[in-house]
Structure 1
């Protein structure tokens, strides 16, 4: 081949590649966008289990704290119920002693009367 033929071939190749370069650049840009979107989706998918594990840990800690507080409140409530029963028993005993001595005690508060009737 002569130099002119080679120049023609190189020129034609350059113009094919030069005109096709726009398509190559566009395809490369689109491929980069698709790759970035895929990597972002993969990162979100990989982060989801970690986020769920963190949420579960917070939930478990909250449940433990609420269970502990519930236990404390139940203990306090039980103790309060015992004190109210003991107080009701004591005041009932005092009222009977006063009646036996001929002293009429003051009427009980309506809540006390309700408790004496219902036990609640």
Structure 2
């Protein structure tokens, strides 16, 4: 009878060790996830900040290029208008402007 109780006791001990190991593993994993959360959020925030800074810089460069291009279009329009007036004064009828040029001359857009 002592042998049976020894086996029962050993079995309970093995089950207890396995259960304790399981809960220790689960607790350790949960603690690591909780601790990694703020660090991961900080990394994601840093990536977001870098992305916003890069996009702001790209937008600044694009606005500068767009402004320069608009100034170039105004200068070209002014030059072509001057040439058309010179042609009219010389008695030469210039070709009609492209519809987009005509629209720009009317609206400025």
Same-fold status (TM-score > 0.5): yes
Matching residue of 1:59:
48
Matched, 1:116 2:105: yes
Cα-Cα RMSD: 1.9
- Using the size of structure 2 for normalisation, the TM-score is 0.88
Match among 18, 21, 41 for residue 29 of structure 1 = 18
Give the deviation of 1:20 after TM superposition: 2.2
Question: Which structure has the bigger radius of gyration?
Answer: 1
Structure 1 stretches of 4+ moved >3 Å: 14-18
Q: For the residues of structure 1 that align with 2:63 and 2:8, how far apart are their CA atoms?
A: 82
Unaligned runs of 5+ in 1: 1-10
Aligned residues: 109
Matched, 1:81 2:70: yes
Matched, 1:107 2:96: yes
Give the deviation of 1:17 after TM superposition: 5.3
Give the deviation of 1:16 after TM superposition: 4.8
- Using the size of structure 1 for normalisation, the TM-score is 0.81
